[in-house]
Structure 1
Amino acid sequence: MKTILFISPTGTLDNGAEVSIFNLMKFLAFEGYKVINIAPTQQKVTENDYSKRFTDCGIDCVLINSQRWWWEDAPGHLFGTEAERAASYRSAIKKIADVIEENEVDIVISNTVNIFQGAVAAAIMNTPHFWLIHEFPDNEFSYYINKLDFIDDYSAEIFAVNGQLSEKITELFPEREIKSFSPYTEIETIKPKIGNKQRIVSIGRISERKNQLELIQAFEKMNRSDVELVFIGGWDETYKKECTAHIKESRLKNISFLGNMENPWEYITDKDICVFPSAMETFGLVYVEALLNGIPVILSDNPGHSSAYEMFKFGQMYETGNIDQLTSVIETTLENFKQVQEDALVFVSEAKNIYEVSVVYSEIIEEINSNKHYQDNSVRHIGNLLTIDENKSKLSRLEFKIRQKLQRIRYRIFRK
């Protein structure tokens, strides 16, 4: 069986890209592939809670302490000087190249458009590289439109999330065949608790991107004292304050914020409907989780949600930003709750058949198993220039560590 190396975006399992491809890695490891994952860390450690999740599933996990993991112009704070970040990039490329050589890796897969080190290391080592794109080239991710030539040159295959994102990426690469996948989340179906009151529940981080204020405004228009609005998820302080300020100003009641829950579906009852008003999503895993748990669901029509909806064609959509329409859809759902709930429960078995690992990742798995000959990348001839790091003195290294620590402290203070 082949050896597959994944390059992960964050080194955490709190985002859809990491969670979904973690499930692909587990599937491949179970099928007999040797799977290796490389992820960033900001500490000098060889193991942490994140890496243990992988090793427990038979996946080797290599952590790389990196000054900067994403592209320079990608979202995120820039620590250190440009020269220090360049040295960190080179060091990461060298470490990835070493893993490729030592483990005789057959394919390298970058699990986000935001990182390039795996692509460069694969090119140096004459190893095919696949790029998985989860991000729409809009807003904070619009920067990567200027990197399409690089992505094209350093990809044996390009995959994008199925639906509107895949269609958009196809437009950006008219000379290539863009293949697709759907993010997979592994959940255990939980029977809802018995509830005593109808509730509107929204799961996800309280943030401008998730757009919960729109749902609060729709709840205000409903003017129903017999219905509760519940938010489950952590929050961005600034946006949370904006939401609570509107609640106080409008004197709204029956709204609660429960905070982050390890398994939010344990808090769902048989009287609940789920509403997801996000302004932007890559796919909408929480929508899928609601379907698999048989919960009636309403979702905004942002591109990511629309992509997920095209896959299942179940639930009710409303136009993002149209508060009147959202209010109307919620009221109709509550009025016809018994039938809507029954339909949602019946759909669970069909959703499970649609949403299997081997199905949603079939095109990736097919390309992994193919024996295509991919053209060598000529950058291999100058591989040493992209991987050799300077031999700094002990004093220089100590100075760098102190400066890096101070910058991170200032960054945390600034965020507060």
Structure 2
Amino acid sequence: MKKIAFLSPTGTFDNGAEISIFYLMKVLKAEGYQVINVAPASFPHLEKSYREQFATIDVPVFFLPRNKWWWEEAPGLTYGTAGERAASYRDNIAQIRQLLVSEKVDLLITNTVNMFQGAVAAACEDLPHFWLIHEFPENEFAYYLDKLDFVAENSEAVFAVKGQLTTDLQQKLPSKVVRSFIPYTEVSATTPQKGQQRRIVSVGRLTPRKNQLELLEAYHRLSEPRPPLVFIGAWDDEYKKKVDAFIRSHHLKDVSFTGGKADPWVEVKDQDLCVLPSAMETFGLVYAEALLKGVPVIFSDNPGHLSAYDHFGGGHLYPSGDIAALQKQLTAVLADFPQAVTLAKKQAKSAREKYQPAIAYGAILEGLQTDLPYQPKPLRHLAAVLSLNEEKSRLTRTEKRVRQFSNRGKAWLKRRFGNSDS
């Protein structure tokens, strides 16, 4: 049986890519595959929680220190100089190569298009490589359109989230077959606990992409008395400031925030209406979870939500960005809430039949069971250069001397002239 290494994007469970592929690894373990996970190092408490979660499915995690884990052009914080980041990339490639050899890995799978180190390491070791793509090439992820030739040339198989993303990428990669998968997560069959009052809830981190301000706009337009509105999830600080400012300026009452929760659905009660106003999703994992829990849900028609809707059916769509339409949907569903609950429970049964690991990951499992033709990659000719650790190279020593000289100069200027930075 094959031994598979996964290259993970964040080393945290605050995003759909990590959550869904955790369950793919769980399925693979149950099928008899050996699995290891390689992730970027972060903070000790996050690493501990992440490692403990993978221990429940007997998958070891190898954390690698890095300057930047994603492509240089990808979103995210950037540390160090360009030379230091290049050295860090090469160091990570060398470490991944060492793991592939020491762990006797047969296949490497990169989980999201945002990392390239795994593809390079696999090419250097003459190992097959799969790519799983979760992101539409738009907005902050538009940068990877320029990388698709690299993706195609350095993978035996490319898999994208089912629906519009697969369609879009297949058009952009006509020479490569783009297969589909469905992001999967386990949702308990327990029904929501009894609630004391009718509420509107929104599950997910407060971010511009999740677009909770659109819900607040529609909520503000509802006739009084309005039901309580509860946001379940952590937040990006800058976006939370905008949300708070809107609440204050419109004198909204009964709006509350739970903060991050290990299981957000514990917070959802049987009297709740879930609203998901995301501006963009790749598939709509939270929408799927709401359906599976039998919770009435209103959701925007972004491409990812539409892909999930095509698979599941169910719920109440509104045109993304159309606040009047969202207000109308809220009013209609709240006015006939018992019927909405009855329909949601009926749809939950159908959704569970369509949402099984064998269906969600069918194409990936088939790809693993098939001996896909392996073509040696031209990158292998640069194996020594691509994974050269330049920690003590002339370039790095020069940069270090320049920084030391600059710091000594600034210290002398400060002693001589006070706080001058000139």
Normalising by structure 2, we get a TM-score of 0.91
1:349-405 Cα shifts (integer Å, max 9, x gaps)? 221111111110000010011112211112212211111213529x969x69x99xx
Query: Aligned residue for 1:410?
Result: none
- Is it true that 1:280 corresponds to 2:277 in the alignment? no
Q: State the Cα distance separating 1:244 from its structure 2 match.
A: 2.0
Report the Cα distance in structure 2 between the residues aligned to 1:324 and 1:136, rounded to whole angstroms: 27
Q: Give the SS at the match of 2:282.
A: coil
2:11 and 2:47 in contact (8 A); partners too: no
2:200 and 2:228 in contact (8 A); partners too: yes
Query: Aligned residue for 1:105?
Result: 105
Q: Which moved more, 1:260-269 or 1:363-372?
A: 260-269
Report the Cα distance in structure 2 between the residues aligned to 1:45 and 1:126, rounded to whole angstroms: 36
Report the Cα distance in structure 2 between the residues aligned to 1:352 and 1:45, rounded to whole angstroms: 34
Q: State the Cα distance separating 1:219 from its structure 2 match.
A: 1.0
Query: Aligned residue for 1:145?
Result: 145
Query: Aligned residue for 1:40?
Result: 40
One-letter code of the match for 2:140? E
Q: State the Cα distance separating 1:203 from its structure 2 match.
A: 0.8
2:201 and 2:230 in contact (8 A); partners too: yes
One-letter code of the match for 1:108? L
2:199 and 2:228 in contact (8 A); partners too: yes
Query: Aligned residue for 1:351?
Result: 351
**CA 1:40 to 1:253, structure 2 compared with 1: closer, same or farther past 3 Å?**
same
Report the Cα distance in structure 2 between the residues aligned to 1:391 and 1:20, rounded to whole angstroms: 36
- Is it true that 1:309 corresponds to 2:318 in the alignment? no
Tell me the C-alpha RMSD between the 2 structures: 2.3
- Is it true that 1:50 corresponds to 2:36 in the alignment? no
Query: Aligned residue for 1:173?
Result: 173
1:190 and 1:265 in contact (8 A); partners too: no
- Is it true that 1:214 corresponds to 2:202 in the alignment? no
Query: Aligned residue for 2:418?
Result: none
1:157-192 Cα shifts (integer Å, max 9, x gaps)? 111000111111111111221101011111223322
Q: Give the SS at the match of 2:224.
A: coil
Report the Cα distance in structure 1 between the residues aligned to 2:85 and 2:44, rounded to whole angstroms: 17
1:190 and 1:266 in contact (8 A); partners too: no
**CA 1:262 to 1:364, structure 2 compared with 1: closer, same or farther past 3 Å?**
same
2:11 and 2:42 in contact (8 A); partners too: no
Q: Give the SS at the match of 1:130.
A: strand
Query: Aligned residue for 2:412?
Result: none
Q: State the Cα distance separating 1:109 from its structure 2 match.
A: 0.5
- Is it true that 1:239 corresponds to 2:226 in the alignment? no
| Unpaired stretches in structure 2, ≥5 consecutive residues | 408-422
Normalising by structure 1, we get a TM-score of 0.92
Q: Within 5 A, what are the aligned runs for 1:51-200?
A: 51-200=51-200
Report the Cα distance in structure 2 between the residues aligned to 1:44 and 1:326, rounded to whole angstroms: 42
Report the Cα distance in structure 2 between the residues aligned to 1:285 and 1:116, rounded to whole angstroms: 25
Q: Give the SS at the match of 1:259.
A: coil
Q: Which moved more, 1:162-171 or 1:373-382?
A: 373-382
Q: State the Cα distance separating 1:44 from its structure 2 match.
A: 9.1
1:198 and 1:226 in contact (8 A); partners too: no
1:136 and 1:165 in contact (8 A); partners too: yes
- Count of residue pairs brought into register by the alignment: 402
User: Which ranges of 4 or more aligned residues in structure 1 deviate by more than 6 Å?
Assistant: 43-47
**CA 1:226 to 1:143, structure 2 compared with 1: closer, same or farther past 3 Å?**
closer
Q: Give the SS at the match of 1:90.
A: helix
Q: State the Cα distance separating 1:196 from its structure 2 match.
A: 2.8
1:44 and 1:65 in contact (8 A); partners too: no
Q: Which moved more, 1:299-308 or 1:236-245?
A: 236-245
Report the Cα distance in structure 1 between the residues aligned to 2:237 and 2:71, rounded to whole angstroms: 27
1:202 and 1:231 in contact (8 A); partners too: yes
**CA 1:45 to 1:38, structure 2 compared with 1: closer, same or farther past 3 Å?**
farther
Q: State the Cα distance separating 1:226 from its structure 2 match.
A: 4.7
1:309-348 Cα shifts (integer Å, max 9, x gaps)? 1110111110011011111111111122111111111222
One-letter code of the match for 1:223? S
1:37 and 1:60 in contact (8 A); partners too: yes
Report the Cα distance in structure 1 between the residues aligned to 2:213 and 2:382, rounded to whole angstroms: 52
Identical-pair percentage: 47
Query: Aligned residue for 1:389?
Result: 389
Report the Cα distance in structure 2 between the residues aligned to 1:133 and 1:327, rounded to whole angstroms: 34
Query: Aligned residue for 1:413?
Result: none
1:6 and 1:110 in contact (8 A); partners too: yes
Report the Cα distance in structure 1 between the residues aligned to 2:21 and 2:56, rounded to whole angstroms: 16
Report the Cα distance in structure 1 between the residues aligned to 2:165 and 2:285, rounded to whole angstroms: 15
Higher CA-based Rg: 2
2:3 and 2:35 in contact (8 A); partners too: yes
Q: State the Cα distance separating 1:63 from its structure 2 match.
A: 1.0
Q: State the Cα distance separating 1:258 from its structure 2 match.
A: 2.0
Q: Which moved more, 1:15-24 or 1:373-382?
A: 373-382
Q: State the Cα distance separating 1:67 from its structure 2 match.
A: 1.3
Q: Within 5 A, what are the aligned runs for 1:9-20?
A: 9-20=9-20
Report the Cα distance in structure 2 between the residues aligned to 1:46 and 1:101, rounded to whole angstroms: 27
1:45 and 1:63 in contact (8 A); partners too: no
Query: Aligned residue for 1:326?
Result: 326
Report the Cα distance in structure 1 between the residues aligned to 2:24 and 2:121, rounded to whole angstroms: 22
Query: Aligned residue for 1:28?
Result: 28
One-letter code of the match for 2:307? S
Q: Which moved more, 1:180-189 or 1:319-328?
A: 180-189
**CA 1:214 to 1:179, structure 2 compared with 1: closer, same or farther past 3 Å?**
same
One-letter code of the match for 1:387? S
One-letter code of the match for 2:84? E
Report the Cα distance in structure 1 between the residues aligned to 2:49 and 2:112, rounded to whole angstroms: 22
1:265-300 Cα shifts (integer Å, max 9, x gaps)? 112221111000011112211111111110001100
1:42 and 1:67 in contact (8 A); partners too: no
Q: Give the SS at the match of 2:258.
A: strand
Query: Aligned residue for 2:416?
Result: none
**CA 1:46 to 1:289, structure 2 compared with 1: closer, same or farther past 3 Å?**
closer
One-letter code of the match for 1:124? C
